[in-house]
Structure 1
Amino acid sequence: MKKHSFFYRNGLSIFFLSIFIITLGLQAYFGWKEHNQELEEEHAAHVAFTAYLQSGHFISATFENFQSEFLQMALYVVLTVGLRQVGSAESKKLDEPEDVDREPRAHLKAPGPVKKGGWILKLYSNSLSIVFFILFFFSWGMHLYGSWQDYNNEQLIKGQPAESLASFITEPLFWFETFQNWQSEFLSVASIVILTIFLRQKGSPESKPVDAPHMETGK
């Protein structure tokens, strides 16, 4: 068997984790600059970069995006179990059995939970969606916390009383921030499901073969 380099074997994860770290750093830097401009307009003192990373402004903006991504992936993983889209590369075939539906069997190279069986196997069989939902709820909670802290900081600067968390969660601002992210994620999923019916990208596992009929479902 041909021996591949570490980067060749892990190129996708390395690339996306790298640009994630870079863009998160740029978001933090420009968010800090913008936040200080807002503070200056309110005649309030600037905050240091390290303090900004712990502020509601940064936490809210960061987890506002995280939660919508994790919700998108959690729903996508769960809904593609039972729902179909004829012709889409992102759908299971309409009638034919799929490898992903077969019952797991313990063999020499099977993951540990498969060999153990029982409730551990049951949990492992749904571990991808479980982890995505945990990440979603954690990110949603952090977005709520950050948005609440940022809102109360603005209230303090304006000489207004702070709001409790229970009161803030009813504010239109929080739900506007939430749904503006959710709807964009749902649109992106719908786009790849529908566009892969008719469009192709040679060499991509997210596309059907270039010569596949439009109404052929699955890859």
Structure 2
Amino acid sequence: MKHPFLYRNSLSIVFLVLFAFALLAQAYFGWKEQQETYQEHGEYLALSSYLRSGHFVAATFENFQSEFLQMALYVVLTIFLRQIGSAESKSLNEKEEVDREPVNRPDAPSAVKKGGWRLAIYKHSLSLAFLMLFICSWIGHLYGSYHSLLEENRLEGKAPIAMRKFLMEPQFWFETFQNWQSEFLSVASIVILSIYLRQKGSPESKPVDSPHMETGK
């Protein structure tokens, strides 16, 4: 039975719509907040200018990088580490379907069929993609945070500082680690809470009648 496009892609569509709404709301309220700062210095900040500002870039990529770091670590660490009773962990003793070597079959992805270096990369493509997204987001956060400080110094009549000196200041690292710690806590929460709690119908939960110490879904 072939399902309609929206049904087949509803999970990703809903999250992308929520993302777009949240990003637009962030841009609007961030602009309103920065406008107050500019008005205090007798200047006007247009929305188009704000969207190119360090303040908006830093705030956006500051959140992106922590999410991508979380997912990269989650994908990689769940290969090797276990948590007894958690729906997010692989079995403590048995090999699972994701552990087997890929088989060249008619419906396999093209990288599997071609083999060689393409297959070697494809076998780790998910973690590599999240790692690259994290690195790009980290650079975006650094760029935005640095230029936000330069603009703040300009408004206050202070001299600009070099990037190297900025990296030695606590501001950027405070912004970085305040996001990282929240992501690590959220992963730990789903790993631990899924041992004892259930959500009927969710693939992130064990079946409702599963014993607490049963590991995996």
Identify whether the pair has TM-score above 0.5, normalized to the shorter chain. Answer: yes
Q: CA deviation at 1:38?
A: 1.6
1:37 maps to 2:33: no
Give 1:160's aligned amino acid.
K
Question: What SS class does the counterpart of residue 90 from structure 1 fall into?
Answer: coil
TM-score, normalisation: structure 1: 0.98
Which of 188, 208, 211 is equivalent to 2:209? 211
Q: CA deviation at 1:3?
A: 1.9
Q: Distance in 2 between matches of 1:47 and 1:80?
A: 46
**Number of residue equivalences:** 217
Question: What SS class does the counterpart of residue 193 from structure 2 fall into?
Answer: helix
Q: Distance in 1 between matches of 2:118 and 2:42?
A: 54
Give 1:61's aligned amino acid.
A
Q: Distance in 2 between matches of 1:99 and 1:44?
A: 63
Per-residue Cα deviation, 1:57-115 (whole angstroms, up to 9, x for no partner): 00000000000000000000000000000000000000011000000010000000000
Q: Distance in 1 between matches of 2:146 and 2:43?
A: 20
* Partner residue, 1:12: 11
Give 2:157's aligned amino acid.
G
Matches within 5 A, 1:12-161: 12-41=11-40, 43-161=41-159
Q: Distance in 2 between matches of 1:135 and 1:162?
A: 29
Q: Distance in 2 between matches of 1:108 and 1:180?
A: 47
Q: Distance in 2 between matches of 1:139 and 1:173?
A: 17
Q: Distance in 1 between matches of 2:92 and 2:51?
A: 48
Whether the 8 Å contact between 1:44 and 1:157 is mirrored in structure 2 is no
Q: CA deviation at 1:47?
A: 1.1
Q: CA deviation at 1:44?
A: 3.5
Identity of aligned residues (%): 64
Give 1:40's aligned amino acid.
Q
Q: Distance in 1 between matches of 2:38 and 2:165?
A: 25
Unaligned runs of 5+ in 1: none
Question: What SS class does the counterpart of residue 29 from structure 2 fall into?
Answer: helix
Give 2:209's aligned amino acid.
D
Q: CA deviation at 1:195?
A: 0.2
Q: Distance in 1 between matches of 2:209 and 2:175?
A: 42
Q: CA deviation at 1:183?
A: 0.1
Q: CA deviation at 1:120?
A: 0.6
Q: Distance in 2 between matches of 1:140 and 1:47?
A: 26
Q: Distance in 1 between matches of 2:33 and 2:94?
A: 54
Question: What SS class does the counterpart of residue 9 from structure 2 fall into?
Answer: helix
Misfit runs of 4+, over 6 Å: none
RMSD of aligned alpha carbons: 0.6
Question: What SS class does the counterpart of residue 85 from structure 2 fall into?
Answer: coil
Q: Distance in 2 between matches of 1:77 and 1:38?
A: 41
Question: What SS class does the counterpart of residue 152 from structure 1 fall into?
Answer: helix
Unaligned runs of 5+ in 2: none
Q: Distance in 2 between matches of 1:71 and 1:44?
A: 40
Q: Distance in 2 between matches of 1:191 and 1:126?
A: 26
Give 2:166's aligned amino acid.
F
Q: Distance in 1 between matches of 2:204 and 2:196?
A: 13
